[in-house]
């Protein structure tokens, strides 16, 4: 399976526009194709989403096949979609969140209120989402994992993808270092909007084989070692180094027609999603030598 261009996006759940100079927690978009690589920095999600739509449109106008990776969970543990929407389709969760989440052009958003609202639909006890900034109070949204009985809720604490990549955090965790839950709540409405483009498929929820544009979940920390080396050597924010190296590695695999093994996922991924490259970190690192 080959792509002409690979884009990797490091998303952000910032509540305000990020600093124009201190870019460690900003959104970074990295791109590689036959002409080389480039990265872009964005202070707000709305700016980043606008560029992503434009990059897709430009690639398709040029007849290019495109792979776009986002570093947040695109699904939740099995059973959640049905509890929230009445269907086991992750796409229904994206659509629900697209209606529920308010996210302004200046990054102000209601993600914790949305998580508390979802938790309130679980009468069995504290709902699945947890963690928020110290000093804030969100009724029904615990600040700690303690007391949440996932078995009683009929859910798992992590997806099969997190079992395959143990460093990856549970999408239920919304705050504190390494968390991905807030990025997911604020990113999935965008995935819903992207999925409305008839040329876009979101893998593994749809087959990628014949798609012009494939959107997938990625985990740049699969390249943690090379990322740290590059960031230290060039004085880059880690997020910028991540999108540079992962987009380069994925393109190198594509050029050698070695992406197919990464686009294999277990059956449960049709509901939960899957991390592109899970179980293939050594191959991704080897690809950096070729790219």
**pLDDT value, residue 25:** 78
Report residue 229 as tokens.
């080396």
pLDDT value of position 178: 85
The confidence score (pLDDT) of residue 291 equals 64
Tokens 């483009």 sit on residue: 197
Q: What pLDDT is attached to residue 125?
A: 83
157 token code pair? 């604490």
Alpha carbon distance 28, 248 (integer Å): 14
Q: How far apart are alpha carbons 63 and 229 in whole angstroms?
A: 35
pLDDT in tens, 78-120: 999 999 999 999 999 999 999 999 999 999 999 999 999 999 9
Question: Do 223 and 82 touch, CB atoms closer than 8 A?
Answer: no
Extended strands (E) in the chain:
5-10, 27-33, 36-42, 66-70, 200-202, 213-217
Tokens of 17: 């526009």
Beta bridge partners of 39: 30
Q: Name the DSSP letter for residue 171.
A: T
- Report the pLDDT value the prediction gives residue 157, as an integer from 0 to 100: 97
Query: What radius of gyration do the chain's Cα atoms show?
Result: 18
Q: Where are the domains of the chain?
A: 5-73+187-290, 80-183
> What is the pLDDT tens value at each position of the chain, 291 positions in all?
899 999 999 999 999 999 887 777 799 999 999 999 999 999 999 999 999 999 999 999 999 999 999 999 999 999 999 999 999 999 999 999 999 999 999 999 999 999 999 999 999 889 999 999 999 999 999 999 999 999 999 999 999 999 999 999 999 999 988 899 999 999 999 999 999 999 999 999 999 999 999 999 999 999 999 999 999 999 999 999 999 999 999 999 999 999 999 999 999 999 999 999 999 999 999 999 986
pLDDT in the model for residue 181: 97
Global confidence as pTM:
0.97
Cis peptide before 204 (omega within 30 of 0): yes
């Amino acid at each position: 399976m080959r792509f002409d261009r690979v884009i990797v996006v490091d998303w952000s759940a910032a509540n305000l526009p990020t600093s124009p100079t201190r870019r460690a927690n900003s959104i970074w978009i990295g791109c590689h194709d036959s002409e080389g690589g480039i990265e872009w920095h964005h202070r707000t999600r709305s700016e980043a989403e606008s560029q992503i739509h434009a990059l897709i449109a430009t690639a398709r106008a040029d007849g290019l096949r495109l792979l776009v990776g986002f570093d947040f969970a695109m699904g939740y543990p099995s059973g959640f979609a049905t509890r929230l929407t009445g269907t086991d389709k992750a796409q229904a969760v994206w659509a629900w969140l697209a209606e529920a989440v308010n996210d302004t052009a200046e990054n102000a958003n209601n993600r914790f209120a949305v998580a508390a609202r979802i938790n309130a639909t679980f009468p069995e006890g504290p709902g699945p989402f947890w963690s928020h900034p110290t000093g804030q109070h969100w009724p029904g949204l615990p600040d700690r994992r303690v007391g949440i009985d996932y078995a009683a809720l009929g859910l798992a604490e992590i997806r099969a993808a997190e079992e395959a990549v143990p460093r990856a955090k549970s999408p239920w965790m919304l705050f504190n270092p390494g968390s991905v839950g807030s990025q997911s709540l604020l990113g999935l409405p965008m995935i819903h909007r992207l999925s409305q483009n008839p040329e876009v498929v979101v893998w593994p929820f749809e087959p990628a084989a014949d798609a012009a544009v494939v959107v997938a979940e990625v985990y740049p920390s699969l390249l943690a070692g090379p990322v740290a080396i590059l960031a230290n050597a060039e004085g880059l924010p880690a997020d910028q180094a991540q999108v540079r190296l992962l987009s380069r590695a994925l393109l190198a695999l594509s050029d050698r027609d070695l992406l197919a093994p990464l686009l294999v996922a277990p059956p449960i991924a049709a509901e939960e999603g899957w991390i592109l490259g899970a179980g293939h970190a050594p191959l991704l690192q080897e690809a950096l030598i070729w790219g």
